[in-house]
Amino acid sequence: MTVTDDTATLLADWQRWHDAREATLREPHGWLALTALEWLDVTPRAVADLPGTWCAPGDGSVEIVASDADGIEVGGERVDGTATVRPVDGAPGVLVTVGERVVELARRTDSYALRVRDPRATTRTGFTGVPTFPVDPQWVVTGRFEAYPAPERITVGAVVDGLQHFPTAVGTVTIDLGGREYRLVALAGKDGGLSLHFRDATSGASTYGGGRILRTDDPAADGSLVVDLNRTVNLPCAFTAYATCPLPPAENVLDAAVEAGEKLPDPS
């Protein structure tokens, strides 16, 4: 690859973005800090090595029973008796603190998950970075966005058997890779922009088998947008067995090998 001024700018911008990405992964209670995933039911029980008992009574809530000495806090208040929280399906979980650990209580359809985030997790303390393909200008392409008449709630599977996710699809993005056009279902981004969640010919080989995701800015008024595949990232499930990530929409499976962005994480 010949390094031109434009290429040098691409590399410098990508490096700043990549450094910020890895800093996010290293956060004390981020995805690398997960140490447990448990599914709750109506029976109160101890979970992992946590104090107190935890259950999902079947009324849309999670119930925690603990004493003051257990050190469990909900909303900054110490639990001394019974505390009830109500996770929302598909949304980030309710966070409960137990010492330096954070317990996430999440709802997935009609199931309730408990995840423990421990800053001392070896997946976090031993993290040395995410392997990536070399940054290359050829993977920066102009896409064409076509909006649906109205956003559509779609159903996709999950890396956990039996679970489903219900993202909002807002249209399609067409890109040209190696002289061939591909049309991807575009999901609404969490903070604006679009999310392109896809599998390609590298999935399950040099990249994570469950697919990767690329977030873009909002399209221009004419529907054009920059699709920089160098910024394609792994979902949390590539780093931990304790995630419940969605799978890509069925339409978003490419027979091209997208040798750009993040590779399979190194085994910890």
Q: Read off the pTM.
A: 0.88
Which residue ranges make up each domain of the chain?
31-125, 129-238
Q: Mean pLDDT for the chain?
A: 94
Lowest pLDDT segment from 14-23, 159-168, 196-205: 159-168
pLDDT tens digit string along 221-235?
999 999 999 999 999
pLDDT in the model for residue 110: 85
The single-letter DSSP state of residue 134 is P
pLDDT tens digit string along 49-100?
999 999 999 999 999 999 999 999 999 999 999 999 999 987 888 999 999 9
Torsion sign over Cα 25, 108, 113, 60: positive
pLDDT in the model for residue 160: 85
pLDDT tens digit string along 126-135?
999 999 999 9
Is 90 exceeded by the pLDDT of residue 175? yes
pLDDT in the model for residue 2: 44
CA nearest 217: which of 198, 245, 196, 200? 196
* Burial of 62: CB neighbours in 10 Å, binned 0-12, 13-18, 19+: buried
pLDDT band per the 50, 70, 90 thresholds, residue 5: low
**pLDDT > 70: what percent of the chain?**
97
Residues near 159 by Cβ (< 8 Å), separated by ≥ 6? Answer: 210, 237, 243, 244, 245, 247
pLDDT in the model for residue 48: 85
The answer to whether 53 and 265 have CB atoms below 8 angstroms apart is no
pLDDT in the model for residue 1: 43
Is 50 exceeded by the pLDDT of residue 242? yes
